[in-house]
Structure 1
Amino acid sequence: MEIISALPVTIVFVAIFALIQIPMTVAVGLRRLQTDVQFMDGGDNILLQRMRAHGNFTETVPIALLAMAAAELAGAPQILLLAGGIALLLGRMLHYATIVTTGFGIGRAIGMLLTLSSLVLFPGFVLFKTAGLGF
């Protein structure tokens, strides 16, 4: 089975998130060059914010995309996949923007709620489908 035909929605989101991670990684690297801090954060608050924003993205996106792929393979409706993928995308962008600008705030909380919604939605669908319930 060709991957494009098996996971047409998930692979689009994988590509989008991979491209989004590039400027996040570059932002950390550029700050390291500016501060000459090659390891950890060296007490630089801006570097710390960028590292945590990038790290949190890297910690949550892969498992959410795996869960999305599992849901798509389990037969999730396209609308569910799109809703969860868009929630994840908006959540990660809002969370990142809040961390690198103020470090805290309502944007960070809303970003996490949107992210967690996809982390509940996708595996929830898979577990319900596997148990023969609903959908």
Structure 2
Amino acid sequence: MDIFSSLPVTLVFIAIFALIQIPMTIAVGLRRARSDIHFLDGGDPVLLKRMRAHGNFTETVPISLIAMAAAELAGAPALLLWIGGGALLLGRGLHYGTLVNSGFGNGRAIGMLFTMTPMLIFPVYVLWSLLQSQS
């Protein structure tokens, strides 16, 4: 069994999120170059927003994808994986867009709800599956 047949849904989302992170990283770098701020945020609110949006993405996406992969390996239904991955994608997009454009707003909160839902559901599925396999 190869990785493509073991994790067909998760691999799609890993690729998508990896590609999304590239422009986020570039946006921070471009702002650093324009503002001549090479460390921290230098008090630049635009740079700070970009840094936090990128940082929050980096803090939440990898653990979510690991949990998703674990759920897929544990036999989670494809529909659950697609919905969870889609929710994560929507959540990260809402959070990033709101944070970068306005800094505050309902989009950030809604984005975090969409992010936290798969972060909760995938590991719960794994733990439930482990408990079921022990009984």
| TM-score normalised by structure 1 residue count | 0.97
CA–CA distance in structure 1, aligned partners of residues 118 and 6 of structure 2: 20
Which residue of the partner structure matches residue 92 of structure 1?
A: 92
Task: For 1:77, give the aligned amino acid.
Answer: P
1:100-126 Cα distance to aligned partner (Å, 9 max, x none): 011111000000000000001100110
| RMSD (CA atoms) | 0.8
| Identity within the alignment, % | 68
Q: Indicate whether 1:125 and 2:125 are aligned.
A: yes
The within-5 A match list for 1:40-119 is 40-119=40-119
CA–CA distance in structure 2, aligned partners of residues 3 and 78 of structure 1: 16
Which residue of the partner structure matches residue 24 of structure 1?
A: 24
Aligned-residue offset at 1:130: 0.7
Task: For 1:51, give the aligned amino acid.
Answer: M
Structure 2 unmatched ranges of 5 or more:
none
CA–CA distance in structure 2, aligned partners of residues 32 and 115 of structure 1: 28
Task: For 1:63, give the aligned amino acid.
Answer: I
CA–CA distance in structure 1, aligned partners of residues 132 and 29 of structure 2: 48
Write out the 4+ residue segments of structure 1 that deviate beyond 2 Å after TM superposition: none
CA–CA distance in structure 1, aligned partners of residues 124 and 82 of structure 2: 15
1:52-86 Cα distance to aligned partner (Å, 9 max, x none): 00000000000000000000000000000001000
SS at match of 1:42: coil
Structure 1 unmatched ranges of 5 or more:
none
Which residue of the partner structure matches residue 12 of structure 1?
A: 12
1:1-27 Cα distance to aligned partner (Å, 9 max, x none): 311011000000000000000000000
Task: For 2:90, give the aligned amino acid.
Answer: L
SS at match of 2:38: coil
**Matched residues, number:** 133
CA–CA distance in structure 1, aligned partners of residues 34 and 69 of structure 2: 39
Which residue of the partner structure matches residue 34 of structure 1?
A: 34
